Amino acid sequence: MGRPTTRGPLFLLIVASMLSIPVQAAGEEFDNARWKLQVNTWISAPTGYFNGKGGEGYFDLQRDFGFGNYATSSARLDWRFKRKHHLLFAITPVSSSRFTTLSRTIQWQGDTFDAGIRTNSNIKSLLFTPGYQYDFFRFQRGSLGFVVNVNLAYTSATLKASAGVSSGVSTISGSSSASGSLFAPLPAVGPTFRWYLPPNSSRLYLDGTLGMSFSGTAILFPATACLGSHWVATGTRTRVTCSVAG
């Protein structure tokens, strides 16, 4: 009688163990949090123009005032109430001002700001964004879905030329000021994704969203790159076009 062999059962045990590892790992999603609060600091590069009431007159943020990049912040709450369903809410306050000598005469909101006058422009915007996200695909290392947002945007602009300012071309004896504001709901929809780069770690991932407004007033292209569990870098390209009413 030969010696009993254990190669057959041992081989089957090894194969079963190897097959069970990916099945178990596939059930453990890295992105499994129910609640997320994300606070970002990012660089804003404003472009666009503001139309006056009745479409009369305008000023351009870059051409007329040379608005540059500046740091701002935003906060976003994500509640994943079911495995593939999210409710979202974000708030983004933006404020910037620029003091410059006008290179052309600007007529806006019924006031005239002559070329050569030192003028201060102040732009403020407050954006509330409720939204919904659905994940078409969820797996261990990421997800792919779409987002529907409603950007509730309040934007105001003020131009002010100080009294007695002269540049040798024009002089004003009294202060001149004009302002306008706009509140607009801007619906947007687009795809969203998240992908964890290391196969066995949630420390390094990329995510992003492509959102396009249907109103023609603003187009936002945000993207996020994340290193670790707590550090986020966000970039957004924003085109602003506003028609303000007195």
* Residue of 103 and 26 predicted with greater confidence: 103
For residue 135, what pLDDT band results from cuts at 50, 70 and 90? Answer: very high
For residue 61, pLDDT beyond 70: yes
Q: Name the residue ranges covered by the structural domains of the chain.
A: 32-243
Whether residue 84 contacts residue 48, with contact meaning beta carbons closer than 8 Å, is answered with: no
For residue 6, pLDDT beyond 90: no
DSSP the chain: -PPP--HHHHHHHHHHHHHHHHHHHHT--S---SEEEEEEEEEE---EEEE-GGG--EEETTTTT----EEEEEEEEEEEEETTEEEEEEEEEEEEEEEEE-SS-EEETTEEE-TT-EEEEEEEEEEEEEEEEEEEEEETTEEEEEEEEEEEEEEEEEEEE-TT-B-SS-B-SS-EEEEEEEEEEEEEEEEEEEEESSTT-SSEEEEEE-EEESSSSEEEEEEEEEETTTEEEEEEEEEEEEE---
pLDDT of residue 175: 62
pLDDT of residue 81: 94
- Average per-residue pLDDT for the chain: 74
Rounded to two decimals, the pTM is 0.68
pLDDT in tens, 181-231: 888 888 888 898 888 888 887 777 787 787 665 544 333 444 455 554 445
**Listed range (29-33, 109-113, 212-216, 218-222) with the worst mean pLDDT:** 218-222
